[in-house]
Chains A and B, each alone.
Chain A
């Protein structure tokens, strides 16, 4: 029902429109030459003024703005690039310095080690020498003592035996005979006692 009314009203409205068109006379106002000259005049005037103002004042400014922005951005990019290169160079330098100082440290370490080892060797030699000297001295002393020992022992043995005999016998004994006996004994048994 509503649909029917709807389509009917559209149909009628077309009729009304047709009537309206028929009622008005003239058709397209565009083809009425009454104001053509006026339109041409005002078009030329407004468009001309606009063209002059745009081309002389506004467009150069906009183009200038665009150019300056472009150049500024380019400059900034260049500066950033330069700084990057700078920092890379600095980094390289830094790496080199680190490498160099590492090498230096190594050489210093090596030198010190060698020097220390040399010192130690020299001191050891000196000490060895001293120790050898001491040992030699001691050996000599021992030798002297050992060489001197049988005589002293013999002497002690003679004295001891003479005193022993004096106490046992009660009279003086000829020491030369005792010493002869002791000598004889020590000669016979020397190998047994001194082990040489």
Chain B
């Protein structure tokens, strides 16, 4: 029988148990894939920025296309004021993208399929955006919860809704990425299990599904990284350019 489709998300210790005080910070498979992702990002972009030729080679082209892609995304959604946060959004996008993409290789671990990882990222973004908003606008940032042009009667309701939607941002941001990754990988595992259990006779249909799903999941891996980054840009835009 095929393994439990959820067992691919198991985190296990690699090497000895490391403890700081009461906290267990052992090196796990999740840590391993975080390191693999960051090291490959750093390697690729370091190679891509080493030489400076007018006609770029492949690595340089890759690095420069990624740079302009993220730069354009930020300037389109958050305007020119978001330039100081370019490096953070670029790292965020690349980190999520590489973690998603490494998860697509069979027998690997998908870092972003864990709610705690995505939630920490989202919470950091949420807190950071809120702090930036208050620094830029002071208490005027609270005007974000009071949309202009709303009848006074509806105002209490609207403000409550706005506050709830604002507070749910980190949850929606983290759950969107985590759920997408988990659902996709679970589905691929289930179809893979079908291939084994149906054997040579009936296994072809789930196999073809599996192939199609792999393509879809690669698309989703890119798309979710993009969505994660662009939502960060939109939140940042709210904090930088208060429109209400």
Interface residues of A (CB under 8 A from B): 2, 5-6, 9-10, 12-13, 16-17, 20-21, 24, 26-32, 34-44, 46-47, 49-51, 53-55, 57-59, 61-66, 68-69, 72-73
Contact = CB atoms under 8 A, between A and B. Distances in A.
Interface stretch (B44-52, B126-134, B222-230, B236-244): B44-52
Nearest to A32: B11
A36 B5 CA distance: 21
**Complex A-B, nearest 6 residue pairs according to Cβ-Cβ distance, in ascending order:** A55-B87, A42-B31, A61-B49, A50-B38, A46-B34, A41-B25
A179 B67 CA distance: 144
Contacts of B60: 65
Interface of B: 1-2, 4, 6-7, 9-11, 13, 23-28, 30-31, 34-35, 37-38, 41-42, 45-46, 48-50, 52, 54, 60, 63-64, 67-68, 86-88, 90-91, 94-95, 111, 113-117, 120-121, 178, 182, 190, 193-194, 197-199, 201-202, 205
A40 B26 CA distance: 11
Contacts, number: 159
Given A5-B201, A26-B6, A30-B114, 15 more contacts: A2-B201, A9-B201, A12-B197, A13-B193, A16-B197, A28-B182, A38-B26, A38-B30, A42-B34, A42-B35, A43-B34, A46-B38, A59-B45, A61-B50, A69-B54
B interface, by DSSP: helix, strand, loop or mixed?
Answer: helix
Nearest to B22: A37
Contacts of B121: 43, 47
